[in-house]
Structure 1
């Protein structure tokens, strides 16, 4: 049974969270806070042509001069960002509103950073061709940013969002080269009605990405009682809500609140490193990789570390009773697999067209280096060989 949540506002490190069905109507309150008269909306072409999303947004922005940049893609390429910067310079808006999935929100934030940067984008590309990455350093004030998520990936409260300078195919390193700056959004608008406009498959893929933020915060060595409590509450909420969110308004509202909770002080670690290993080598949605590898990665973690398994089981609503530690771990893996299957997501890496088994060794080496030592579960020492075995198990 899902919980019921009333609309609320919350100040999270200087970012205003607006939650509630119809909360998009309140976006003008945030714009008025920094005396905006004009807005550049940043989104992808699907969202930009979706009247169920854009009509409520335009209605809420009726008192403002609005222009739309609808060219974002999951690739988050530097070429897209360059086009966005050119558009920003032409329109000269008082604020940026990013709406849609994680890639659109990331482009919106990075647009604000790179438009104010002391270097132009050609400098970043030139460095990437030499195998180096530069970070943008703003030389002028950032344009205020408001973001409006419509998926569960958990990009709303982020202050980053990497931009691809070179693809894996063009990079001298063999994997994509990316960079990002820091831009904390002024406001994040969480409106369940807008999530309901997102296609089922897109929403399902994003759900596993968001779900894993809760899993990883629970076992991260850098976590603490506060972050673990929030992550556990959020994890349990999304676990109950995700399977029926698309078809039930109450479940959708719970799913959105749960996705907010798992983002608070999130401590992403091993599972997200696996996602990065693939997304840095292929143009692929991380949520699909998360769906396939998460049960295998959790088994790998639990074989080598406690991984805070009993707290995780409790958050997921698993009655561990007299189970021993091995049985608790197995029950968690089975429950995560059941959630994945309820969302009709891929179950094997071989079912994802872009993935080649011959790349597993270099992907494993990337994953090993990408796991942050300060956030890995206590007792886990990742190795390339062990990670590669996980990938073959997931094949």
Structure 2
């Protein structure tokens, strides 16, 4: 069984990764060292009412806690980011602490960027209606953000996270209009003890989204041995731990949870998201659907399509599952990887067919396929692969 260090720190692209049980006790000291005096927690209502989670965070912040904004939602609306900005100003806040899943962390980051941008929400909406919506500039003067993840979405070591400015109903194109700025957190406090307070359903819903960040990196067009190393090791930790932490193989002991959190960090370092994430984005552009659910459904089908067309670094992926590639043909290795992904997915309480997602409509498949083909992660598909709309529609029909 793979082991991890009890605690470690690592600086990655300007973000201090601080890992270990109880590390949130150090939040206040970390802020004090950086002359940050007034912190506001940004989270959703479920997290905000979870005393087992919030008490350690608030105690860690101590006298630097200036307030809690607990109204984020999975919809990630721009209005929410501007509500955060209003409360920041009312409370004279100089640092945001995003706590919870990807939606809360993204809202905290985007509130930081738009607090410096100068445009109002009305300005953003006007630009969106005219087709002239630009991303905000980011600079060192924006309020810093610290993140405290509690799910496996893998949204913590990131500078992105879009917010919706116009819904499909409001948009002149009949499609949602989103915008995002770049705001890498200054610190990521990855405390495995906090993950133990998250309901299993929330962990399961986020698991495939995070895992696929590692899965996609080795076959990305711009992959390299360094990105392969962190991705494959992260996959090995997650493929062993997730079914027990977030699935039906549990209950998980503390060491297993620790390995899952460490794996979640590793797959984010130099991640290179590709076609599976494009599928997630394609559905998210049309529906209010959790991307982890879409990932869970489509990933075996996407892999089957990839392996039929290109090698897709299947030996590295097999290594990520602990599969011995010796004496296996290319086809056998591909089947073994697909079987391992499917087994991992099936251990989680997640959908397995697109028709199980209540938001989806089969008649939307052609439009979703067009979104997917045009999505930026498709620029990283494996060398030698050139997906078209017909290819993507075929994958979607197989997954339906």
State the TM bucket, normalised to the shorter chain.
over 0.9
Indicate conservation of the 8 Å contact 1:222/1:374, yes or no. Answer: no
Indicate conservation of the 8 Å contact 1:74/1:103, yes or no. Answer: yes
The one-character-per-residue Cα deviations of 1:56-112 (angstroms, maximum 9, x if unpaired) are 111112222420111100111011112111111111112111100001001111111
Normalised by the length of structure 2, the TM-score is 0.96
The one-character-per-residue Cα deviations of 1:189-233 (angstroms, maximum 9, x if unpaired) are 000111111111110111101110011101001111111111111
Q: Which residue, out of 341, 344, 363, partners 1:339? A: 344
Greater shift after overlay, 274-283 or 88-97? 88-97
Distance 2:2 2:128 in 1: 47
Alignment CA distance shift 1:344-1:107 (3 Å): same
The one-character-per-residue Cα deviations of 1:293-334 (angstroms, maximum 9, x if unpaired) are 000011111111110001111121112332211111111111
- Please report how far the alpha carbon of residue 142 of structure 1 lies from its aligned counterpart in structure 2 after TM superposition: 0.7
Question: How much is the aligned-residue C-alpha RMSD, in angstroms?
Answer: 1.4
Q: Mind listing any 5+ residue stretches in structure 2 that lack a counterpart? A: none
Q: Which residue, out of 250, 263, 282, partners 1:277? A: 282
Indicate conservation of the 8 Å contact 1:109/1:145, yes or no. Answer: yes
The match for 1:117 is 117
- Please report how far the alpha carbon of residue 371 of structure 1 lies from its aligned counterpart in structure 2 after TM superposition: 4.6
Indicate conservation of the 8 Å contact 1:169/1:175, yes or no. Answer: yes
Distance 2:390 2:234 in 1: 33
Greater shift after overlay, 287-296 or 62-71? 62-71
Distance 2:47 2:238 in 1: 24
Q: Mind listing any 5+ residue stretches in structure 1 that lack a counterpart? A: none
Greater shift after overlay, 219-228 or 313-322? 313-322
Query: Is 1:317 the counterpart of 2:322 in the alignment?
Result: yes
Distance 1:393 1:377 in 2: 21
Distance 1:31 1:7 in 2: 19
Distance 2:378 2:205 in 1: 27
Q: Which residue, out of 371, 383, 388, partners 2:388? A: 383
Runs of 4+ in 1 over 6 A off after TM superposition: none
Distance 1:319 1:178 in 2: 43
Distance 2:128 2:376 in 1: 22
The match for 1:52 is 52
Query: Is 1:79 the counterpart of 2:84 in the alignment?
Result: no
Greater shift after overlay, 368-377 or 42-51? 368-377
Distance 1:65 1:368 in 2: 45
Query: Is 1:263 the counterpart of 2:268 in the alignment?
Result: yes
Normalised by the length of structure 1, the TM-score is 0.97
Indicate conservation of the 8 Å contact 2:28/2:62, yes or no. Answer: no
- Please report how far the alpha carbon of residue 37 of structure 1 lies from its aligned counterpart in structure 2 after TM superposition: 1.9
Query: Is 1:327 the counterpart of 2:348 in the alignment?
Result: no
Indicate conservation of the 8 Å contact 1:118/1:138, yes or no. Answer: no
Greater shift after overlay, 244-253 or 185-194? 244-253
The one-character-per-residue Cα deviations of 1:236-257 (angstroms, maximum 9, x if unpaired) are 1110111112522111100000
SS at match of 2:218: helix
SS at match of 1:123: helix
